[in-house]
Amino acid sequence: MLLKVEGACKSYGALKVTQDVSFAVRDGETLGILGPNGAGKTTLFNLISGDASLDAGAVYFDGETISRLRPHERCRAGIGRSYQVPHPFGNMSVFENLVTAACFGAQVSETEAWQIATEVLESTGLREYANKPAGSLTLLNRKRLELARALATRPRLLLLDEIAGGLTEPEARELVDELKRIKARGTTMIWIEHVVHALLAIADRLLVIDFGKKLAEGTPDEVMNDPEVRRVYMGIEA
C-alpha cells in the first residue's frame, strides 16, 4: 500500500467534516473520489497533503506515518497535489513555476529542474506559454499549470482536486488522455471529480464520501450500482 488513511477525523468547530474515514491506495492505482458538494472531499486531500491537521487517526505513506509532517515535507516525500481553485505563482512565468516546483519538490539542482520543467511543459501542452506570466493564463491553462506543477515535483502519489471542472468536452478528453499517460508511467493517483465519465475512464476504484463519512468503496461497477450511492449522489431512487 502506498497510502493508508486510518480513522481520519477532522472538525471545524461543531462541523464534523471528516468522520472516521479509512481507505488505502495501492502503488500504481488510481482512486476516484466522488461525493456531493461539501461532503469533505477536499478536506480529505488537505489531511493527506498536510494543509490541514488530523484531529484523530493517522496517514501512512509508503509504510511510514506522515501525520505530523508539514506540507512541504509531505511534498518532498512524494505527494504532489493540485488545488481546486488554482494557486499559480502569478508574477512568475509558467516555466519558472515549474522550475520552482522541481527545485524544491523533487529536490534537484536548478539545471535538472530546467530539464524536468521542459519535459512537463511538453507533456502538458503548456510549451507555448512557457515564458508568459502564470497570472495571465486562462482558467483552462491555469488548471493545466496546476497539474503540470504537481507533476514537476516528481510525485509518487498525485492528488488531483477537480481539475476537469469547467472544461469543455474535448478539453476533458484531452485531460483524460494526459492522465492515462501519467498513470502508464506508474504514478499513483487520487482524483476528486464531479465529471463522472472522465473519472470512470481512468479510475480503478471509487470512494464515495457523504457528510464526511465513507459511503461506499469498490470497483467502479460496484460503486455505481450501489443503491445508496445512486440515491445520495445521483438522486436516483432505487
Partner 1 sequence: MKNTILVVLLALVAVVGGSMPYWGDSYWMYEFVNIACLFIFAMMWNLLAGYGGMVSVGQQAFFGLGGYLMLALANLAGVNPFVAIVLGALIAGVLAFPVSKIAFRLNGGYFAIGTWVIAEVIRLTVANIDAVGGGSGTSLTAFRGVSRSFRENMTYWVALAAVLITLVSVYLFLRSKQGLALQAIRDSEVAAESQGINVARMKLAVYILAAVGCALAGGLYFVSNLRISPDAAFSVNWTAFGIFIVMIGGIGRIEGPLIGTLVYWLIDTWFSDYGTWYLIGLGALAILMTQYLRSGLSGLIQQLTGLDVLSTRRVLPDEREQSRPLATTKASHV
The footprint of partner 1 on this chain (CB under 8 A) covers a number of residues equal to 43
- The correct pick among 92, 196, 200, 201 for binding partner 1 (CB under 8 A) is 92
Question: Which of 18, 42, 43, 49 is the binder for partner 1 (CB under 8 A)?
Answer: 49
Binding of residue 114 to partner 1 (CB under 8 A): yes
Please select the residue that binds partner 1; options are 28, 36, 57, 125, rule is CB under 8 A.
125
The half-sphere exposure of 24 on its side-chain side, counting CA atoms within 13 A, is 10
Q: Cell digits for 174?
A: 484531452
Beta strand pairing call for 64-65 and 15-25: unpaired
Q: How far is CA 217 from CA 49, 181, 213, 214, in A?
A: 21, 25, 11, 8
Q: How far apart are CA 50 and CA 188, in angstroms?
A: 18
Burial class (CB in 10 A: 0-12, 13-18, 19+), 57: middle
Residues 63-78 as b or e (16 or more Cβ within 10 Å = b):
eeebbebeeeebbebb
Nearest approach, Cβ of residue 30 and partner 1 (Å): 20
| Selected binder of partner 1 within 55, 96, 112, 119 (CB under 8 A) | 96
Going from the C-alpha of 225 to that of each of 31, 102, 204, 216, 235, the distances in angstroms are 17, 41, 15, 11, 13
Q: With respect to partner 1, which residue has the nearer C-beta, 75 or 208?
A: 75
Nearer to partner 1, 23 or 83 (CB): 83
Least distance in angstroms from the C-beta of 107 to partner 1: 7
CB of 122 to partner 1, least distance (A): 10
Q: How many CA atoms lie within 13 A of 235 on its CB side?
A: 1
- Of 152 and 232, which CB lies nearer to partner 1 in the complex structure? 152
Q: Binding to partner 1 by residue 105, rule CB under 8 A? A: yes
- Contacting residues toward partner 1, per CB under 8 A: 49, 51, 70-72, 75-76, 81, 83, 87-93, 95-97, 99-101, 103-107, 110, 114, 117-118, 121, 125, 127-128, 130-131, 134, 149, 153, 170-171, 174
